[in-house]
Structure 1
Amino acid sequence: MPPSRKSRSVTLSDVAKDAGVSPMTVSRVINGETNVRKQTRERVRASIERLNYSPNISARNLAGARSLRICLLYGNPSSAYLGELLMGVLESAREIGAHVVVERTQADALNLDDLAAQMNRDWDAMIVPAPISDNPGIWRLVEEHRFPAVFLSSAIKPGLATEINIDEYAAAHDLTATLISRGHRRIAFIKGHPDHTAAAGRFDGYKAALREAGLSLDETLVKQGYFTYRSGLDAADELLGLDEPPTAIFAANDDMAAGVLASAARHGLSVPRDLSVAGFDDSPIASTVWPNLTTVRQPVADMAALAVKLAARAVRGRPEDREAETVRFDYEVIGRDSVARPPE
């Protein structure tokens, strides 16, 4: 028989015993976690209703009373970028005792109704990296629900939420200037996804460095990429097929730069003797491919780790801890083996 409510309150352990599951499973059902089988979830909910069990909501929301549930919205096509994000998010979450939910979606296909329901029911805070951070729909949700969120991007409505970023423009400018300082004049650029704000900033930095060096922008040396290995390879094939090909190719991320290396090999070119190649992000692929890539180091893992802590502070802290702020990390141009002076 179920425990008598006259003698004591029904506990989570009582529900677990009645449903024939562990207390952890009951906790997962209550917190809306998806890694519980449907039949088990229904059995637990039946026991909760039969025993008239009511979780102590106020106790659950006390700092430290339960793990914060922080959602990482993800829709970036780069697996290397995801790896860096997860490294920072998971390590930081472990340190503060938070639980991370990775929600995969597409920036141009957000189901805002579903996201709103999960924000109200399943999550305490949200981390929003690019390119989802570029979507005005997610801005509206955060604003309307006054939901704690940290954006790994600068493409948001001013004052809406905390943002963590680097100066994409300055970083791309400095890497382009590095190529120019090595003697390159025909420097091609493979752009990132056209819907990503970061891609625009990097392209603008490239163009500014050319202008400052007195070099004209040659549109034949600019190709559209999508932050994927394949798009980098295809763009490089076009560039290296020109009657007067570039002596250096700057790809807007490391995945595309790796594709450039493959294209160069396919064209019988030696990097960096015949062609210099540079990327952006300093993701793990940059030091895995050969030759290792000259690139811009964007400390994605460190930025993601801070995002978790700022999200937790917004939930657990004082009202003023939820005020929007901008945190800008330093970047660094990392010189490796993929860049040399142009061939004579």
Structure 2
Amino acid sequence: MQKTSTLTEVAEEAGVSLITASRALRGVGRVAKETRERVLAAAAKLDYTPDMLAQKMRGGNSGLVGVFVNGFRSLVMHELLSAINDEARRLGFDLIVFNADHFDDARRAGTAEMLRKLCDGLLLLLPDANDGLLDKLERAHAPCVLVSFAARPIDLPVVLGSNRMAAKSAVEHLLGLGHRRIAFIAGTSFTGQSEERQRGYEDALRAAGIALEPAYLRQGDFNDASGFTETQALLELPAPPTAIFAANDAMAFGAMDAISDAGLKVPDDLSVVGFDDVIRAAVVFPKLTTVRQPLNEIAVRAVAELVDAMRNGRAEGFRIELPARLVIRDSTGPAPKG
């Protein structure tokens, strides 16, 4: 196996001191252009690669942002990750994406800790409130930002879109169309966002003087299949709903499929509203009325807050909630008569 070149060998090849070679390779300090070029040429000749972990241990920066995710199933996850990558690269950072069901799991904790030390800061996308890593980061005030997290108060930076107020506006739209039997399909509770959206749903119904109907509350799993299954159950009720508000677009897509499968039409027989406004929402038939989360703005703000935390060396707790808005398309219409 080929021997790994060292910084000392690069310095000797370039005819400079060790500190000058280090500064030239990191692009910091006052190093003459000719000297920097000579050092870079020596590094290329020797196939030298900096040891980022050693550099971090010496108090330097790796230029890396760690992005921790609990699975890639979410359509929102993909859009957030893409926007975060664009913004981080624009600012000169590279991403390391680490996926695990739980980062405090015995098989993953070592990797999570290594990446925490290697990266200049962490972004946790849609984190699970039950993951012990959150408690560890909170105690350390480690440079990090939680993205789209609403499960509980936490002394760390949180950036998310509006959930409760946006959900309330979605249900108010259905009420304005004459719907009174409105169902809600919830998602999982890991990030707390589904609960916030359910509170918005309940707020709107109470404000309209409509009693909550337990049979209209269904538990989904933030995916198409659960939206399909729960809608089938709703359609079998003696007094089925005339409208369905799903806690995300994926379940709304499943709901529309179930309605079609039952020989009914959206929105003639049932109206459907989603949440997130993923790319697919504008191309399905009928096009989905949904709440548009400001995913790009969430990503840009999260990266900006992380850069501030990295600069300060610690993260202080605060919550930034960016406004979401209802996008009315073709999946909602007047309540059917009778």
TM-score when scaled to structure 1?
Answer: 0.80
SS in 1 for 2:267: coil
Looking at structure 1, the residues matched to 290 and 324 of structure 2 have their Cα atoms a distance apart, in angstroms, of 10
Aligned match for 2:141, one of 141, 146, 149: 146
After superposition, what is the alpha-carbon deviation per residue over 1:92-149, rounded to whole angstroms, capped at 9, x for unaligned?
Answer: 11210111111112258743343223212x21111112243x2351222213433101
The 8 Å contact of residues 71 and 126 in structure 1, kept in 2 or not, is answered as yes
The question of 1:119 aligning with 2:140 is answered no
Secondary structure at 2:114 match in 1: helix
Whole-Å separation in 2 of the counterparts to 1:140 and 1:254: 31
**TM-align CA RMSD:** 2.8
Residues 1-344 of structure 1: pairs in structure 2 closer than 5 A: 3=9, 8-9=16-17, 17=45, 22-23=47-48, 26-27=49-50, 30-31=51-52, 60-61=60-61, 68-75=63-70, 78-107=73-102, 110=105, 111-120=108-117, 122-132=118-128, 134-135=129-130, 137-152=132-147, 153-158=149-154, 160-315=155-310, 317-318=311-312, 322-344=315-337
When residues 181 and 325 of structure 1 are mapped into structure 2, their CA distance, relative to the original with a 3 A threshold, is: same
Instruction: State the shift of 1:343 in Å.
Output: 1.4
Q: 1:142 to 1:291 in 2, by over 3 A?
A: same
Task: Measure the CA separation in 1 of the matches of 2:292 and 2:10.
Answer: 62
Contact conserved, 2:104 with 2:132, CA < 8 A, in 1? no
Amino acid at match of 1:298: Q
State the shift of 1:8 in Å.
4.7
* CA distance, structure 2, for counterparts of residue 259 and residue 56 of structure 1: 47
* Helix, strand or coil at the partner of 2:78: helix
Identity across the alignment (%) = 31
Conserved 8 A contact 1:229-1:255? yes
Separation in structure 1 between the aligned mates of residue 99 and residue 257 of structure 2, nearest angstrom? 29
Partners in 2 of 1:123 and 1:217 — Cα distance?
47
Tell me: CA distance 1:244–1:162, structure 2 relative to 1, closer, same or farther (3 Å). Answer: same
Unaligned runs of 5+ in 1: 33-53
User: How far does residue 56 in structure 1 lie from its aligned partner after superposition?
Assistant: 9.1
Is the contact made by 2:77 and 2:125 (CA closer than 8 Å) also made in structure 1? no
Q: Distance in 2 between matches of 1:4 and 1:332?
A: 56
Q: CA deviation at 1:78?
A: 4.2
- Counterpart of 1:48 in structure 2 is none
Cα distance change of structure 1 residues 107 and 340 upon mapping to structure 2, 3 Å threshold: farther
**In 2, Cα distance between the equivalents of 1:219 and 1:189?**
10
Take 1:318 and 1:128, find their aligned partners in 2: how far apart are those partners? 19
1:227-249 Cα deviation digits (max 9, x unpaired): 11111111111112223221111
- Once residues 228 and 247 of structure 1 are traced to their aligned partners in structure 2, the CA distance between those partners, rounded to angstroms, is 22
- Counting matched residue pairs gives 306
Residue number in structure 1 paired with 2:29: none
- 1:192·1:224 contact (CA, 8 Å) conserved in 2? yes
Per-residue Cα deviation, 1:203-259 (whole angstroms, up to 9, x for no partner): 111112111111111111111101111111111111122232211111100010011
Cα distance in structure 2, aligned partners of 1:243 and 1:249 = 16
Distance 2:303 2:276 in 1: 20
Letter in 2 for 1:341: P
Unaligned 5+ runs, structure 2: 26-39
Q: Secondary structure at the match of 1:279?
A: strand
Amino acid at match of 2:288: L
Over 3 Å counting, the alpha-carbon distance change for 1:17 and 1:267 in structure 2 is same
CA distance in 2, matches of 1:100, 1:89: 9
Distance 1:227 1:313 in 2: 33
Shift, 1:176, TM fit: 0.9
Gap change, CA 1:311 and 1:195, over 3 Å in 2: closer
Alpha-carbon distance between aligned partners in 2 of 1:5 and 1:331, rounded to the nearest angstrom: 54
**Matching residue's letter, 2:316:** E
Deviation per residue, 1:125-183 (Å, 9 max, x gap): 11112243x2351222213433101112233544x221112331111111111111110
Instruction: For 1:116 and 1:55, locate their aligned partners in 2 and report how far apart those are by CA, in whole Å.
Output: 16
